Structure 1
Amino acid sequence: MSVPAFAALATAVVAGWLALYRLPFNDPARRRRTALWLAGRTGLRPEPAFAVFGTVVYLVLGTLALAALLAATPLTLSGLFGVPAPGMLLALLLAVFGTSSANILCVSLLYRADPRVDVPGEIARIQWIASILALPRHYRWIVPAVAALFEEVLFRGAVLLGLGALGSGLFLALAISTCLFAAGQVALVSTRVQAYVLGTSSLTLGVVGGLLTAATGSVLPALVLHMSFAGFYTNLSASASPGARPATGRLSL
């Protein structure tokens, strides 16, 4: 498969994945009925039952997307997890520091433009984060980490390394994988502040994680970076915002 054809396939696959994940439950009444049905069969409260359901749907659909992309490249799933060189530990620490600093800068610029904006509150109201915050506390680390793991395998693994295996240059592969990742994150928000925060953080993660992956030939360093970032900032939003916990009956996917 050519590089342009694979780029088009990756765009269509990611768009289909997110549409199938989000669109069936855009209707609040349908979400509520589904949550009550799940609660009746699991014994959980509706909010956490729906949160678990949403995570499973996201991962199952994403697995199909991953399989479709890997089938179009010479890569294998196990081949994405090569062992990085020992010196990559220092690079990973610098990447964590650089990613955090870049995101702090972006949020600082937002506060400078509008000092009244409530960034933690906006992040806590993003639908998939609101679902996570309905779960018991320890699951608020596990679920974002699992989602981050999967996203790294798909975007930095199948897309970025897949483009490289098909003959793409680094900058083109990095641009396509990062833009798809950021667009996928922004597609799941509902306000401009949410889009700005997730968009800038996704671009930073995509670039830094992509460079780590290209330098090592493995998604493992980017995976560690993304998992720690996702878990930390999800829980930071919960603790920093008084309205972080979703109200009873507020369900989201």
Structure 2
Amino acid sequence: MREIINAALPRQRHLVLLGLALGLGLALAAIAARSVGGAVAGLTLLPILFFLGMAVREIVRQPGREGLRVDETTGSFFAPPQPGVPFGPALCGYFVYYTLYTVAGSAVDAWDRFLMLAYLLVAGGLAIGAWRRVPFVTLTAEGVSSGAPRSMIVVPWEAIGAGAPTGPGAAGRFLRLPIARPELVRRRLGWLRLGAFVPVRELTVAPEFLAAAIRHYVAHPEHRATIGTVQEYDRLRRALAGAPLTGQV
């Protein structure tokens, strides 16, 4: 597990830097060529088309279809991020491009500047988040955590109430855990209490399998101590035999 995180985080950081550099470079090039209509049109159209392509890819991309993986060293089941370019770095680059190119224009009022500042703040937040953690979910004997190597949220099993984790339909963007004891939940942003959400869209695990596994360990605390062993994962797969996937170790 640690090797996967150590490989995924630098790669994601490189993509963040690449996205910001492309946004800055295209904005400066478009500003410099503003007096040449055709060149400006091309430089303006290129990032828009790229961003639209990334947005369409994000909409149509299917969530993972695998099971969880086993790390006996850390005593955990986990799901790493899917391969490919995350949407966040691309969005950061586009916000930088759009903000700089718009602010450099001649007809920018106070409201436009406020929006541009908001775009830059969002881009900065996305860049910092992508710089510090990769999409990840981990199940241990203690509970469920999301994000690595810095967990965004840690939910002990005792904090999860009865009922199934729920998500926004077939898109499978995230799971919302039913919380019975919110005081036990640990968040990276402790002041932001918007519920316990586990993003799953960019993970290799099938959302329905992850939801079933969480529901299983909430209902069967006697099995939690052996989470992270191959034997327990085999037992879990047999218990969840109805899940439409083939897991892997």
TM-score when normalising by structure 2:
0.28
Return the structure number with greater strand share.
Answer: 2
Return the structure number with greater helix share.
Answer: 1
- Higher relative contact order, chain-length normalized (CA < 8 Å, sep 6+): 1
Q: Give the greater-gyration-radius structure (CA).
A: 2
